[in-house]
A and B are shown apart, each in its own frame.
Chain A
Amino acid sequence: MEKNQLIKNREAMIEDLFSQHADPLLRMCFLYLKDMQAAEDAVQETFIKAFRHCHEFRGDSSPKTWLVRIAVNTCKNMLRSEKELLSMEHADLEGLLPSREGDQAVRLTVAGEIGKLPLKYREIILLYYYQELDAKEIADILGLPRTTVEYRLRRAKALLKPGLKEMYFDE
């Protein structure tokens, strides 16, 4: 296959990923960073990187996992480099959502409880439940041993259960 054709195919893959996963990615970044504008920046940065590096995608993981990995790394970098985001750690998510005229205040039950988790547990819950990745994929993305991911997942669920009254866990 010609190189140009290959690049076009990869760009088409990014377009598909955008249409399927951009909104969930933005919601994940919002819950990760607890800042709507930073989340938008993170998603945009994710797709910029995806376009730039799509030729490096080897198919070792699914395209979605690859994209989520870029998004998570982008969020981590933003947290490390932009200290203003650290101050948002204790912010109430409901107050951070974009408000629309005439809308009643949005009630965040699950998102609100996830937002209260410390980052190391929050990211595990987001990847496991929201991105529906398994422990191995999460371990690969976060660069952690699988056992650590599994432990943090158990711990995160335990932290979530009182707030959610176990109503959302499928197990």
Chain B
Amino acid sequence: MNKIREQIDRELREVKVSPGMLEEARRAAFGDQETDQGRRGHMTFGTGRAWRRKGRRTAVMAAVLVLACITAGAAGIFGNFGAYFYGDTEPYQDRILQSAQHEENDRFAMAVDGAVSDGRQCMFVFSLQALDRAGRKELASYLGKKGTAELSGDVALYACFEDGVREPVGGLSVFSWDDLQSRDFQSYVLTVSAENVPGGSLDGVTRIDVEYDGMVLTVDPGRSVHGVELKPEYAGSSLFSENDPSDLRGVQTPQYGNGVEMPDASAESGMGVTMPGVSGGSEKDPGMAVSDEKAAGGLVEDVFLSPIGFSFRGTGEDFSVWLIRSDGTLADGENDMAYSYGFSRNTEDNEVTVYGDFRYEIIDLEEYSGLCINGVNYYKTE
């Protein structure tokens, strides 16, 4: 037995199950008709408390339900910003811009619960609870086969400026997570990127109005977390073999140019990322991230990393983005970070602005040194 386990057992020696718990579990599992009586008859320290707690919870839940009915279902739609992070609240606790708000009509209660912004993206949780049959039917219509719900175009966002102008926000990123979806209740993370705001910046936006079913709540888009600019590393920045850029197996034999350690091959399978071959960036022009535009999938510049996501501008079709941890290893989006990409394309010069927002966590920038975009490393400069 290792020392940590030994010490935990020593420290928590008083934490023991009650001997009756097994019998209680057996009865509960097999639906013994006398279970409840048995539970009461065999109530012991641990088990009894557990069941009393369940009883108390049931009573509390009933009271909450009654209260929810009285208050037209307002209860239960708050706290989802915390739920989104599975209780791992430490990294963002002091960075939430606003407390929860809610509004309701006959059909729905809706809530905005927490917001975080880095000046380029603003994310917040938006929740809906059906209060009547029509509302339930509408929410049910959002549910897909996989259990995730799609708000589609039913929620509208407006950017409000200092001069009173109110403009619709386009290209909204809507993320729903399975755990909080049902016919009666749904919760989403909405991300507004600067690119989608008229004027291309969140700086002049005084508030964002969230409109649904005739109701309006507001979000403060002010900056609550700070990001950093990233610059390319030129010498030896190529990570991947150029022999066969289309072959993902090439990733297994990378050219380690700068001490970056690729995840092992087992983590690569099924990631579905494209790994175009790249050459090193130009040493002559610091504004040029990559010298071989075609191979790299386009020019990349204005690379920005913040606790809630990243962004950069580039030309081309394919971008694969990895976070570089401080120890030099890479975190990939699909498996480690679960970030998503949003693309905003300017049709005039074929330039795209790529936005990624991290899922389920706000990262600590101290733990990361930069981004690897299409095989070129971009590092923090401050």
Binding site for B on A (CB under 8 A): 11, 14-15, 18, 22-27, 30-31, 36-41, 43-44, 47-52, 76, 79-80, 82-83, 85-86, 89-90, 97-98, 100, 103, 106-112, 114, 118-120, 125, 129-130, 132, 144-148, 151, 154-155, 167-170
Q: Can you offer 20 A-B residue contacts whose CB atoms are under 8 A? A: A15-B22, A18-B21, A24-B9, A27-B9, A31-B8, A36-B15, A37-B49, A40-B47, A40-B53, A48-B28, A49-B29, A52-B30, A118-B88, A120-B88, A120-B361, A129-B2, A130-B5, A147-B267, A147-B336, A168-B3
Give the contacting residue for A80; candidates B83, B91, B264, B267; CB below 8 A: B83
| Number of CB contacts from chain A to chain B under 8 A | 165
A12 to chain B, nearest CB (A): 12
Q: A111-B8, A145-B267 are in contact. Are A52 and B17 (CB under 8 A)?
A: no
Type the 1/0 row for B1-43, where 1 means its CB is closer than 8 Å to any CB of A: 1111101110110111100011011101110000000000000
B87 within 8 A of A: yes
Give the contacting residue for A144; candidates B25, B50, B53, B335; CB below 8 A: B335
Centre residue among B22, B266, B325 by max chain A CB count within 10 A? B22
New contact pairs (8) apart from A148-B335, A168-B2, CB-CB < 8 Å: A26-B16, A37-B49, A41-B53, A76-B86, A86-B83, A97-B14, A106-B14, A147-B263
B367 within 8 A of A: yes
Complex: chain A residue closest to B22, CB-CB: A18
Q: Is there contact, CB below 8 Å, between B53 and A151?
A: no
Once bound together, how far apart are the Cα atoms of A90 and B87, in whole Å?
Answer: 10
B79 within 8 A of A: yes
B331 within 8 A of A: yes
Q: Is there contact, CB below 8 Å, between A110 and B4?
A: yes
Q: Is there contact, CB below 8 Å, between B17 and A23?
A: yes
Hey, which chain A residues are within 8 Å of B16, CB to CB? 23, 26
Type the 1/0 row for B244-279, where 1 means its CB is closer than 8 Å to any CB of A: 000000000000000000011011000000000000
Centre residue among B25, B47, B88, B91 by max chain A CB count within 10 A? B25
Top 4 A-B pairs, shortest CB-CB distance: A51-B29, A47-B25, A40-B50, A129-B4
Q: A22-B22, A41-B54, A109-B7 are in contact. Are A80 and B179 (CB under 8 A)?
A: yes
Once bound together, how far apart are the Cα atoms of A5 and B354, in whole Å?
Answer: 61
Binding site for A on B (CB under 8 A): 1-5, 7-9, 11-12, 14-17, 21-22, 24-26, 28-30, 46-47, 49-50, 53-54, 57, 79, 82-83, 86-91, 179-180, 263-264, 266-267, 325, 327, 329, 331, 335-336, 361, 367
Q: Is there contact, CB below 8 Å, between A86 and B87?
A: yes
Q: A37-B50, A130-B5 are in contact. Are A44 and B83 (CB under 8 A)?
A: no
Hey, which chain A residues are within 8 Å of B327, CB to CB? 154
Once bound together, how far apart are the Cα atoms of A109 and B53, in whole Å?
Answer: 29
B365 to chain A, nearest CB (A): 15
Once bound together, how far apart are the Cα atoms of A15 and B46, in whole Å?
Answer: 18
Q: Is there contact, CB below 8 Å, between B263 and A52?
A: no
Complex: chain B residue closest to A158, CB-CB: B327
Complex: chain B residue closest to A26, CB-CB: B17
Give the contacting residue for A51; candidates B9, B12, B30, B180; CB below 8 A: B30
Once bound together, how far apart are the Cα atoms of A148 and B327, in whole Å?
Answer: 14
Hey, which chain B residues are within 8 Å of A50, CB to CB? 25, 29
Q: Is there contact, CB below 8 Å, between B29 and A130?
A: no
Hey, which chain A residues are within 8 Å of B11, CB to CB? 106-112
Hey, which chain A residues are within 8 Å of B21, CB to CB? 18, 22, 40, 43-44, 47
Once bound together, how far apart are the Cα atoms of A71 and B79, in whole Å?
Answer: 24
Give the contacting residue for B87; candidates A24, A79, A145, A170; CB below 8 A: A79
Give the contacting residue for B336; candidates A86, A90, A107, A151; CB below 8 A: A151
Hey, which chain A residues are within 8 Å of B3, CB to CB? 167-170
Complex: chain A residue closest to B56, CB-CB: A37
Hey, which chain A residues are within 8 Å of B25, CB to CB? 44, 47-48, 50-51
Hey, which chain B residues are within 8 Å of A48, CB to CB? 25, 28-29
Once bound together, how far apart are the Cα atoms of A156 and B327, in whole Å?
Answer: 14
A115 to chain B, nearest CB (A): 10
Once bound together, how far apart are the Cα atoms of A97 and B79, in whole Å?
Answer: 26
Q: Is there contact, CB below 8 Å, between A83 and B82?
A: yes
Once bound together, how far apart are the Cα atoms of A168 and B4, in whole Å?
Answer: 6
Complex: chain A residue closest to B17, CB-CB: A22
Hey, which chain A residues are within 8 Å of B83, CB to CB? 80, 83, 86
Once bound together, how far apart are the Cα atoms of A98 and B13, in whole Å?
Answer: 11
B202 to chain A, nearest CB (A): 28
Q: A15-B22, A52-B29, A145-B336 are in contact. Are A83 and B79 (CB under 8 A)?
A: yes
